[in-house]
Chains A and B, each alone.
Chain A
Amino acid sequence: MTHPASWLHPRPEGLFCAPGGFFIDPVRVVDRAVITHAHSDHARGGHKAVLARAETAALMQARLGRGRTAYQTLGWGEVLRLGEVKIWLQPAGHVLGSAQVAMEYRGQLVVVSGDYKRQPDRSCEAFVPVPCDVFVTEATFGLPVFRMPDPVAEIARLTDSLALFPERTHVVGCYSLGKTQRLITLLRDAGWDRPIHVHPALMPMCKIYADFGIRLGDLRPIEGDLAGAIVLAPPNCANDRWAFADPVACLASGWMLSARRAKQSGAEIPMAISDHADWDGLLRTIGETGAPEVWVTHGSEDALIHELTRRGITGRALRLVGYGAEG
């Protein structure tokens, strides 16, 4: 048995698996990268070879172009040998194609979560806990004040406002990959079957979701009569007054749980909808992996490690840099 700290190291490029010769979500260009999901801070362009889910590869190519990168894709649970390491992917429930990376070397099993969440989400595969010796987790919302409300209730705040202000266009700020498509599926499940107007920057990712069988319904460009319509736009565009008469600015982000952040956002309806595990989600997941040792990649690691220590679990902050805090 070889302790994982001796073969899995944080490096400036990212987390490096020495016996496998690959980086996980490297922030600089490397020869061999395993990519957990297609968000730009985890999936940079220019690597020589990328191993990922087919969905992630498609989303990356749509964003970055094909380039010279050689993509290899893996099915869920399909085991591959890289050097002396056995590696496979399990769903992380963050965005379409998001995966945890499981690695086995000399009798020790390490799982790198990537970004993940435990709330139900029809737009991607649900998180599957993998029992392991070391669980490497994110901690974007690693404070006990972060407990996400039911997203269905958050969506109801939007639809209630549409009922109260049927003449106002409701413009929702959301990131192009993940949040957009989750909002659309939540709205559809809430019975919103009218067209949803989508900013051109969000459309390519929606198309890939549809290609992978996620039903998003009638999506249209931002034109025509928009009174009482829902418009989805990148967060930096959502506060623009555009051409809408008396718009309602909304923003979907886990950070909207903080009153100060909500105020700073300038949104009239700040919605706490996140694709990251909240405090309870982090602790539940760590419990389910049964891991006696947990490494924290990025986020609010101090509080999480404090709580893990209280529970008899060894916590270690990797302090990987370069990962954003999109909520």
Chain B
Amino acid sequence: MKDFAALLDRLRFCPTPAHRARVLATGSPEAQALLRGEVKLRSIKLAVLRALAEARCDPALFALSQEFLGDFTETLALIWPARATNAAPPSLAEVIEAQHAESLLEGWLDAAEPASRHALLRLATGKIRPIASVKAPEGQGGQVTAMLLTAQSGRVGLERLYSFGVHDGAGLVPIARVTEVSAPDRATLEAWVRDHGGAKFGPVREVASGLVADIAFDAVAHSTRHKAGLALHGARIAELRPDLDRADDLATFRTLLG
């Protein structure tokens, strides 16, 4: 469980899918399977955890702590007054095997140290965003390296919409649409559209591929309406990458998202 907690911590703020893939590869087979969404865990009801908190923690201290941290699960994991026990903390395999049997949870919490308790409770409440579920890890969302595909003029002629794509086989498939762009980035994008603009379909102008950017996003969801099979929410340009001439592969990106 300790290794799994450490893996979650390391993955949590990893900046790009490529970085996350390298970190994920260091995890145990169970951890990798779980984070890819190949293993499902039953969730424990919040009421069960609340009852545990009431039974074991001073209510005033709990309230002050939760007020500070702003999260019940985190508070319970960190405040937990562990009773001395000879039991070893559970391994991730054991937790998966037991499917979070409620009767085991209290003993597990006593045996684990705070970081593992937090991981355990996040598992118990279904709060692991895993790289593998439909949502990107909470926090900074994620990043994907993508290629400029089209530029579209807005209705008022001022607002521009840029679409970016990732490699899928021999071609590129759209993955993100970005509207808000910083002034310097916008100048670079417009220069590219001017110099490498291609066919125009109504307001949409295709551009030659070659301009690469890191696209940050808040969340990602499966979508049947998009060609890539997923939709990015809150997509924006993190950084233009003139040093790159290739975007991420859809397959790699998908593996990371499940």
CA distance A266 to B14 in the complex (A): 10
Instruction: Given A144-B65, A145-B68, verify A257-B78 contact (CB < 8 Å).
Output: yes
Instruction: Given A157-B6, A161-B10, A267-B13, verify A260-B70 contact (CB < 8 Å).
Output: yes
Cβ of A149: which chain B residues have Cβ within 8 Å of it? 113-115
B14 near A306 (CB under 8 angstroms)? Answer: no
Task: Write out, one digit per residue, whether chain B residues 201-219 have a CB within 8 A of any chain A CB (1) or not (0).
Answer: 0000000000000000000
A:6-24 near B, CB below 8 Å = none
Cβ of B19: which chain A residues have Cβ within 8 Å of it? 165
Instruction: Decide if B89 is an interface residue (CB 8 Å cutoff).
Output: no
Our pick among A143, A165, A267 for the contact of B65 (Cβ within 8 Å) is A143
A258 near B68 (CB under 8 angstroms)? Answer: yes
B61 near A144 (CB under 8 angstroms)? Answer: yes
B61 near A303 (CB under 8 angstroms)? Answer: yes
Cβ of A144: which chain B residues have Cβ within 8 Å of it? 58, 61, 65, 78-79, 81
With both chains docked as a complex, state the minimum distance between the C-beta of A27 and any C-beta of chain B, in angstroms. 25
Our pick among A145, A164, A306 for the contact of B22 (Cβ within 8 Å) is A164
With both chains docked as a complex, state the minimum distance between the C-beta of A244 and any C-beta of chain B, in angstroms. 13
Cβ of A258: which chain B residues have Cβ within 8 Å of it? 68-69, 74
Our pick among B15, B68, B114, B115 for the contact of A143 (Cβ within 8 Å) is B68
B22 near A165 (CB under 8 angstroms)? Answer: yes
Our pick among B61, B71, B74, B75 for the contact of A306 (Cβ within 8 Å) is B61
A145 near B6 (CB under 8 angstroms)? Answer: no
Task: Write out, one digit per residue, whether chain B residues 54-96 have a CB within 8 A of any chain A CB (1) or not (0).
Answer: 0000101100110011110011001101000000000000000
Instruction: Decide if B104 is an interface residue (CB 8 Å cutoff).
Output: no
Closest A residue by C-beta to B2? A153
A303 near B65 (CB under 8 angstroms)? Answer: yes
A300 near B64 (CB under 8 angstroms)? Answer: yes
A:280-318 near B, CB below 8 Å = 300, 302-303, 306-307, 310
B13 near A268 (CB under 8 angstroms)? Answer: yes
Cβ of A307: which chain B residues have Cβ within 8 Å of it? 58, 61
Cβ of A260: which chain B residues have Cβ within 8 Å of it? 69-71
Task: Write out, one digit per residue, whether chain A residues 266-283 have a CB within 8 A of any chain B CB (1) or not (0).
Answer: 111110000000000000
A:130-166 near B, CB below 8 Å = 143-147, 149, 157, 160-161, 164-165
CA distance A320 to B228 in the complex (A): 58
Closest B residue by C-beta to A264? B139
Instruction: Decide if B153 is an interface residue (CB 8 Å cutoff).
Output: no
Instruction: Given A165-B22, A260-B69, verify A302-B64 contact (CB < 8 Å).
Output: yes
Instruction: Decide if B26 is an interface residue (CB 8 Å cutoff).
Output: yes
* Residue from B14, B61, B81, B139 whose CB has the most chain A CB atoms within 10 Å: B61
Instruction: Decide if A81 is an interface residue (CB 8 Å cutoff).
Output: no
Instruction: Decide if A259 is an interface residue (CB 8 Å cutoff).
Output: yes
Instruction: Decide if B28 is an interface residue (CB 8 Å cutoff).
Output: no
CA distance A299 to B75 in the complex (A): 18
A147 near B10 (CB under 8 angstroms)? Answer: no
Instruction: Decide if A263 is an interface residue (CB 8 Å cutoff).
Output: yes
CA distance A263 to B58 in the complex (A): 28
Cβ of A263: which chain B residues have Cβ within 8 Å of it? 13, 139-140
CA distance A262 to B78 in the complex (A): 15
Instruction: Given A144-B79, A145-B79, A258-B68, verify A268-B61 contact (CB < 8 Å).
Output: no
Beyond A257-B78, A263-B140, A270-B13, list 15 extra A-B contacts (CB 8 Å): A143-B61, A144-B81, A149-B115, A157-B10, A161-B10, A165-B19, A165-B22, A258-B68, A258-B69, A260-B69, A262-B13, A268-B13, A269-B10, A300-B64, A302-B64
The interface of chain B, by Cβ under 8 A from chain A, is 6, 9-10, 13-15, 19, 22-23, 26, 58, 60-61, 64-65, 68-71, 74-75, 78-79, 81, 113-115, 139-140
**21 contacting pairs across A/B (C-beta < 8 A):** A145-B65, A145-B69, A145-B74, A145-B79, A149-B114, A157-B9, A161-B10, A164-B22, A165-B22, A258-B74, A259-B74, A260-B71, A268-B14, A300-B64, A300-B68, A302-B64, A303-B61, A303-B65, A306-B58, A307-B58, A310-B58
